[in-house]
Structure 1
Amino acid sequence: SIAEILGSRLMKVVQGVAVHHGSLSKDVRIQLEDDFKSSRLKALVATSSLELGIDIGDVSQVIQYMSPRQVSRLVQRVGRSGHTIKGTSKGTIICADPDDVFESHALLNLIHHGVLEEQEMCKNALDVLAHQIAGILMETEINKKMQTGTYGIMHTVHAGNEEPRDEIGITQLFEIIKRAYPYSTLSADDFLAVIDFMHDKRLLKKTERNTVHKMSSTRIYYYENLSTIPSVEKYLVKDTATNKVISVLDEDFVSFLEVNDSFITKGLPWRILDIDQDRRIVMVEAAEDINAAIPDWEGEEIPTSFEVSQEVGSIKRRVKEFVTEFLGKEKIKKMDENKLTEAAAHVAKHVKVHSDAIVDYLDLDLISNHGLDYLPDDNTILIEGWNEVAVMHVAGGLNANRTLAEVLGHLLSTQYKSTVKTLVDPYRIAFIFQAKADPVVIKGLLTKLARSQDLDSILQDVVSRHKLFKYKFIHIGKMFYLFKEAPRISDNFIQYFQGSPVYKETLRDVYSSYYDLKHAKEILNRINQGSMVIHTARVQKLTSVGMRALVRSHGSELIAPIEPTSEIIKAFKAKLLGKSVVLFCTHCGKDWITFIGSLPDQGKIKCPKCGSSMVALVPGFVNVSDVKKLFTKKKLSKEEKEYKMRLERSAGIISSAGKRGVIALSSYGVGPTKAASLLSRNYKDENEFFAALLEAQKTFIRTRRFWEFH
């Protein structure tokens, strides 16, 4: 993590520094907090693990690395310092790029105006509703409360020898739920749909009297779902080149992955070769295209809100106004670098933003060709096109921009009949085409979308087929007892449940966590009304602000992904040469253990006892004593004869190929037939030989489920 990297670098230059994050054990975290309170530690590098909770004592200053994205987070974090009645909180933000500079100033402006982000309360969560219904049915005091008229009328049922059951009227139950503010707007249709779903899953019993009562499974369901945070199994991710575990994935995430999918873990992209459900192992190889990969976990970037992004746009609009005032309209298009620097220094005094960030924003090429008005701000959208890339600058915040990106990406893919990839941040949407990008087409679709008011329906159609939706559907499905373990489900399976409480709750959860329909609609309304204008420009190169739409997707400057090329072959080769193997002489029966790397590079490998070159490699899972019996027994079964022939073929390969034969046969998934085929080829160097072995191993891993092992 960035916290670990910052901590390790600080520890090299100063003493009394430690790192605090949620992955540490409770005891370690408490010890670090105690050491910090008692001044044994001078500084703690922390994630949000210290954002809330106990008071950590006398903090002189808080240093925030990169923008905290939200006003509330900045106030909470900096508020850790000067934490007394008369104290003054002191904080410093270290900015990583010009976006950070503008955003940090926007946060400070909002703080000074007493503005915090609007906090959206989670409303009408249907999975929590189902759990609460089960809890009410289990209430031990329900008889007393119903008899006193608090919750309605209690019914008692006697059917033969069946024990009496407590029932509650569905209408009364609905009234109870509606009293809670988060469910005050719950519709009767959604409530009844949850009741019917629970009845179908035997989580409660619905009677003809329009009442419900608990069943034997109600209690189990209730206590197995006390938390909305699911307990999930873990899958090990193993690199085929080194056979080492590189990370761990949640089963929910693995459940929507397929062979050949790419994902990012430990800052690097990996391609899936096989998913072993029984052993819970995902076999991968290094991939090169980080843009084609998806993140390896559910957690997401802290979203910059619409309000903060608009404030950034407002600052940029004031920059344009001060530049116009300083230079005059007639001189703006003739501005050179010297005048640009001079203007930026002047403007910086008024808007309190560093002049370097202002210079970055004031793109000379764009201004000289199109004018200052084309620069994006809170009321101006710029769509610039360059080769196969178009960048739409819109100050909508992360989730509103993601909403627009999903819909526009879908519309563009449909129009071009090929996939159009999108990259999103709080200030830009990048569209990556498979042909030349046309910003005018994007403007046309955006304008049409603003007039049509089709955002909701298109977004739902796109999101419901998204892998993220499948991931969330599995999580919520488990909460509803639709399934107990994370299954591998198809899109058709999900569409079958369209309209069900599971589907509706998944949509609500995804919308509230990742999208911002409210402000996306506000942007479209402003476009339709003309208060937000759209400019298009074909450029010889992307503006520096536009280029960051592509750069930001590759991670921060602290963690630079290494290119997975020859290093993979090198690691694979080292692993094989360091491997110990059992060799067996088919002539005299002598067996011995040796390291592959210690075998002679040239010439034949001979038995140390009799000198024969007919030496076979014994697989690690085979007992050597059983191998010896194959060459001493007079009568062999069919299986024994076949295995003896396999060993003799192995000996023939090693006799003719020497050390390379042992290397090939010791590679995972490479048997005598494949080894003979690989060894018959000509290779320009040793690395090419090992690359062929690695490819054969990957092919075996992909196809092994179709093979029968003996």
Structure 2
Amino acid sequence: MKTIERLDPRVRSCIRKRGFTSLSDAQKQAIPLILDGKNIVLIAPTGTGKTESAMFPVFDGLITLPAGGGFKAIYITPLRSLNRDILSRMQWWCGELGLTVGVRHGDTPMAERRKQALSPPDLLITTPETFQALFMGKRLRQHLAHVRYVIIDEIHELAGSKRGAQLAVGLERLHVYAGEFQRIGLSATVGNPGEIAGFLCGDRPCSVVQVPVAKQLDLSVQFVGDDFRHQIEVLKKYLQREGSTLVFVNTRVTAEALGHALFGHGNVEVHHGSLSKEVRIDAEERFKKGEIRTLICTSSMELGIDIGRVDHVIQFGSPREVARLVQRVGRAGHQLNTISRGTILATGFDDLLESLVIARKAGANEIEPVVLPRHAADVLANQVAAIAVEYGEIERSRIREICERTILFPDCDELLEKVCHQMEDHRLIRIDGSRIITTARARRYLAGNLSMIHDERKVPIFDIVSRRTVGTLDESFVVGWVHTGVVFITKGQLWRVLEIADGKLTVEPAKKAIGELPSWEGEQIPVPHSVAQEAGGIRRTRLLAEYRTEPDGLAFASAFFREMDKNRSLVPTDELITLENTEDGVVCNVCAGHKANEALGRVLSILLSARHGTTVGLELDAYRMLLRLPSSIRAADVRDLLLSLDPATMPGVLRLALKRTALFKWKLVQIAKKFGAIDPDADYEKISIQRLLDFFDNTVVQQEAYRELLSEYMDIDTAAAIVTLVRNGKINVALGPHSLIGAGGLLSSRDQIPPPTADSAVLATLKRRLSQDDVILACMNCRDWKSRTVVSRVDEHPQCPKCGARLVAALKPYEEEQYAVVKKQRKNVEERATTQRLLRNANIVLSSGKKAVIALSARGVGPEVASRILGTLADGDAFYREILKAERVFVQTHRYWA
């Protein structure tokens, strides 16, 4: 019997009415298994009808169930925007089949929630977090007893995170009410389907249907170099082609930079997570309608939101991961039996080799495995609190049974006991013998912690030179690292903190700093070890012709290698680590990927610090580490240390030393919030890090911080394996001069154009900003004329057009109201002082002309400070340096003024 003939006639009728003329391979393989009641993970390319593969047989089952009673199917997606998209697609089917459908997430109005509680829809579309909330309402819990199907869309997006661990426990909590229900997972990109099946079903049987993505991909890599103007010109040529294009970038900053550069091109919009929901929806709808032909986007458009036809996908810079490329390019040709065409625009040497490797791996269906977060203690704490609220009181053994039915918490009795005692310390539960009893605080805790996503505030970075917000830092980075005077790196630039107040950092550009430099590239996508290692293999063999690229890429790589050879530079590869002395320290070139380099770099920096009694800074990417060291420690010292490392001791070294790092403090704050020890909205300015470190020493909170850092933020196992290969002589270590490869990539993200940090660039920004500042010119002679203008338009010697006098004050816009005082015949003491200050101002302008107007327009510069600046007789850049110095003093001291 044909697959379609097994479906109920009513479902078949809808399929025909909807215009389906044939089924895809994914649908032909998945539908019979679901009709047979099997649990299933379906892995198939975007556009092959995965949603329909799941829902055709689910509809078949739903229309045979009695009407009313409760939720019968729950469809879970990672994003609210996907919920919205799935709802619009499901409404037609459910309407035709006499079924009801509803959506429920954080933005669902209260009236709709009450309606669902009283009359639940047959099909509920929701997010993992709102799924958790269903267990908190008595009536909603009753509706869960009728669930027969749970569909998890984009399952790869959840399985590798703590959101997924929370969801896995949630499915087992649902099992208590509903008994066995059918589980269906959908994804385009999974490298380890067996483990994902375990994530979805625990130890239950689960079928895997995998439709290879490679045969539907047409990938190419084009080298465009690092000149931004040339990159834009190449992009424009692509965008002039027929059809619609998605341009994917790796960071929001790059999305905005490209959007700005292409704004004049017309019909281009930007789409990323920092934009409001309304702006994103508007961009999606306009793209779908064909009103715009290009959408520049980040991972916000990776998942399967329906935006209509996409003819071509451009990836600006390496996508860093195979799964990410497959997911993104899969958006093109989002229809059955169409080829998805994608082009990677490579911007440099590392970028080119990495892109070639990722494109090859995508074509061979070599997708990275999803790493499951096992034994996550903060997830367990969250679920203990949730189960305690759900039942009021419950035996701890029953909680253990629920959690151990997942593959993420096997044999968790010891961990559960530690977690429960920690929670009792925070008054989230009471322990009475073997029973766990909820508290009033637990319900309040859950209201703020339904999600395992760390809900961090973004702290604005305000540059006093340009008087603009130049970026943001995650709150916990500020908690762990930032204090007045510290220099940090973000967006490839050095900044010095002048003030932390009112929820923002006020900074100035810094030239150079000695010692450890914290850096923050919060959106950085880590390059896996396997990709970096193969890129190192290309460096060793230089066989680029085996990879699919165009002549420009081959020519550039060949010229790059010739330049390395001409300079007698060693080329670091998958079998050679090179160490290079630089002015700032030692560059270690290791083709190991971000996470392994993070672990190895930290071990090296920790041991160097202990051995030499000095602070060691660390910056890294997938191919190199810069150890910022005093000039007395050179590459030979680092080599000796690397050769003497014992891989068996590396995890212990890292664990002991991490405790002193900002990274550990950052993670500890996040974990403590999820344990209910810190309120979710606690003010970072008032958190005492040292007290936290002492309070959580040797607790399960500290253990979870270590577990997450060592398993998710760095790869200590791979780092130790590299050291073992070094000891066995399979990876050589050599010293060499500072090379093009060693200098590449550090202090800036590859997919951004780092802003200049030179003194001249800082002063140019200050000059431009001051010239554009508003100024009020007011005559202090006739006291009957004032005019608002900008500093750049002020004459060299301002003059009153009414009386011809040059006794003209230059006021900041907020000082304008002070001018009204000078006309008064009778003045109080304060008003007389104001008049004297304006006269002093005017006398300075009289003697120094426009130069005085420029000084007086600066922040915090009044007549006294302006007089001092002008008294230095500084000209040109020296004059502006004096202004910058005065602004800095004002920022650092103004909060102490009376």
Pairwise TM-score range, normalised by the shorter structure: 0.7 to 0.9
Match of 1:356 in 2: 555
Residue 734 of structure 2 corresponds to residue 536 of structure 1: yes
Return the alpha-carbon distance in structure 2 between the equivalents of residues 42 and 204 of structure 1. 55
Say if 2:676 is the partner of 1:481.
yes
- C-alpha separation in 2, matches of 1:433 and 1:20: 41
CA contact (8 A) 2:778 2:808 kept: no
Show the 5 A alignment for 1:155-234: 166-186=392-412, 188=414, 190-207=415-432, 209-233=433-457
CA contact 2:667–2:705 (8 Å) conserved in 1: yes
**Shift in CA distance, 223/241, structure 1 to aligned 2, threshold 3 Å:** same
Give the 3 Å change call, closer, same or farther, for CA 102–20 of structure 1 in structure 2. Answer: same
Please, which of 318, 321, 326 is the counterpart of residue 75 of structure 1?
326
Give the structure 1 partner of residue 718 of structure 2: 519
Displacement of 1:368 = 9.4
3-state SS of paired residue (1:182): coil
Q: Is 1:457 aligned to residue 680 of structure 2?
A: no
- 1:415-454 alignment to 2 at 5 Å? 415-435=611-631, 438-449=634-645, 451=646, 453-454=648-649
Q: Which amino acid is the alignment partner of residue 304 of structure 1?
A: V
Give how far 1:305 is off. Answer: 0.8
Answering whether residue 892 of structure 2 is matched by residue 702 of structure 1, we say yes
**CA offset digits 1:345-378 (Å, max 9, x no partner):** xx554566754365356467669969xxx64332
Give the stretch that moved more between structures: 624-633 or 117-126: 624-633
In 1, distance between residues paired with 2:809 and 2:262? Answer: 57
3-state SS in 1 of match to 2:343:
strand
The equivalent of 1:568 in structure 2 is: 765
Residue 597 of structure 2 aligns to a residue whose secondary structure is helix
Relative distance call for 1:593 and 1:124 in structure 2 (3 A) is farther
* Conservation of the 8 A alpha-carbon contact between 2:581 and 2:587: yes
Over 3 Å counting, the alpha-carbon distance change for 1:183 and 1:692 in structure 2 is same
CA distance in 2, matches of 1:75, 1:133: 37
1:403 to 599, 603, 609: 599
Structure 1 residue 276: Cα displacement:
1.7
- Aligned residues of 1:384 and 1:439 also touching (Cα < 8 A): yes
One-letter identity of the residue aligned with 1:193: K
Task: Classify 1:212/1:626 alpha carbon distance in 2 versus 1 (closer, same or farther; 3 Å).
Answer: farther
Q: Residue type matched to 2:444 in 1? A: I
Partner residue, 1:3:
255
Name the CA distance, whole Å, in 2 between partners of 1:561 and 1:689.
Answer: 21
Q: Secondary structure at the match of 2:744?
A: helix
1:119, 1:703 → 2: CA distance?
51
Q: Is the 8 A contact 1:363 1:543 kept in 2?
A: no
Amino acid at match of 2:418: A
Distance 1:26 1:116 in 2: 31
Taking a change above 3 Å as real, the CA distance of residues 266 and 571 of structure 1, as seen in their structure-2 partners, is farther
Structure 1: how far apart are the matches of 2:299 and 2:371? Answer: 20
Go from structure 1 to structure 2 and tell me whether the alpha carbon gap of 1:651 and 1:108 turns closer, same or farther (over 3 Å shift): closer
User: How big is the shift at 1:187?
Assistant: 5.5
- In the alignment, what sits opposite 1:305? 528
1:625-664 matches, cutoff 5 A: 632=826, 640=829, 648=836, 651=839, 654-655=842-843, 658=846
Contact 1:252 1:486 in 2 (8 A): no
Q: Conserved in 2, the CA contact under 8 Å of 1:36 and 1:43?
A: yes
Work out the CA distance in 2 between the residues paired with 1:620 and 1:11: 34
* Structure 2 contact 461–507 (Cα < 8 Å) conserved: yes
What is the letter of the counterpart of residue 65 of structure 1? F
| Partner of residue 507 from structure 2, selected from 284, 287, 291 | 284
**Matched residue SS, 1:565:** helix
Q: Structure 1 pair 618/254, CA: closer, same or farther in 2 (3 Å)?
A: same
Match of 1:334 in 2: none
Residue ranges of structure 1 left out of the alignment (5+ in a row): 143-165, 320-343
Shift of 1:645: 5.8
Larger Cα Rg: Structure 1 or Structure 2? 1
| 1:35-434 alignment, distance < 5 Å | 35-37=286-288, 41-139=292-390, 142=391, 166-186=392-412, 188=414, 190-207=415-432, 209-233=433-457, 235-241=459-465, 243-256=467-480, 257-263=482-488, 268-277=493-502, 280-289=503-512, 294=518, 298-299=522-523, 301-317=524-540, 319=541, 347-349=543-545, 355-356=554-555, 359=558, 362=561, 375-385=571-581, 389-434=585-630
Shift of 1:195: 1.5
- Aligned residue for 2:600, secondary structure, equals helix
Q: CA deviation at 1:293?
A: 6.3
The change in CA–CA distance for 1:600 and 1:438 in structure 2 (over 3 A counts) is: closer
Distance in 2 (CA, whole Å) between partners of 1:618 and 1:52 is 50
8 Å CA contact 1:360–1:544 kept in 2: the answer is no
SS of residue in 1 equivalent to 2:381 = helix
Aligned residues: CA RMSD: 4.1
> What is the 5 A alignment of 1:592-671?
593-595=786-788, 620=814, 632=826, 640=829, 648=836, 651=839, 654-655=842-843, 658=846, 667-670=858-861
Letter in 2 for 1:275: I
CA contact (8 A) 1:310 1:396 kept: yes
- Measure, in 2, the Cα distance between the counterparts of 1:599 and 1:348: 60
Is the alpha carbon distance of 1:248 and 1:582 closer, same or farther for their aligned partners in structure 2, counting shifts above 3 Å? farther
> How far is 1:258 from its partner?
1.2
In the comparison of the two structures, how many residue pairs are matched?
630
Work out the CA distance in 1 between the residues paired with 2:882 and 2:583: 36
Larger mean CA deviation between 497-506 and 3-12 belongs to 3-12
Q: Distance in 1 between matches of 2:844 and 2:335?
A: 82
Unaligned runs of 5+ in 2: 1-252
State the secondary structure of the residue aligned to 1:453: helix
Distance change in 2, residues 1:359/1:82 (3 Å): same
TM-fit CA distance, 1:519: 0.9
SS for the counterpart of 1:94 is strand
Q: SS state of the match for residue 64, structure 1?
A: strand
Q: Secondary structure at the match of 1:45?
A: strand
Contact 2:449 2:674 in 1 (8 A): yes
Structure 1 residue 672: deviation in Å? 6.1
CA distance in 1, matches of 2:876, 2:617: 39
Contact 1:255–1:486 (Cα < 8 Å) also in 2: no
How many angstroms apart in 1 are the aligned matches of 2:609 and 2:794? 57
Q: Residue 703 of structure 2: which of 504, 514, 521 is its match?
A: 504
Q: Indicate how the Cα distance of structure 1 residues 694 and 4 shifts in structure 2: closer, same or farther if over 3 A, else same.
A: closer
Residue 32 of structure 1 deviates from its aligned partner by 4.2
Equivalent-residue separation in structure 2 for 1:104 and 1:356 (angstroms): 16
**% identical aligned pairs:** 30
CA contact (8 A) 1:430 1:549 kept: no
SS at match of 1:519: helix
SS at match of 2:347: coil
Cα 1:618/1:312, change in 2 over 3 Å? closer
CA separation in 1, counterparts of 2:526 and 2:281?
Answer: 29
Do the aligned partners of residues 566 and 242 (structure 1) sit closer, same or farther apart at CA in structure 2, a change above 3 Å counting?
Answer: closer
Equivalent residue, structure 2, for 1:495: 693
| Structure 1 residues 103 and 172: alpha-carbon distance in aligned structure 2, compared to 1, 3 A threshold | same
Q: 1:41: how far off?
A: 4.5
Q: Deviations over 1:288-328 (max 9, x none)?
A: 459986555633x21111122222233444x1xxxxxxxxx
Q: Match of 2:667, SS?
A: helix
d(CA) in 2 for partners of 1:492 and 1:546? 37
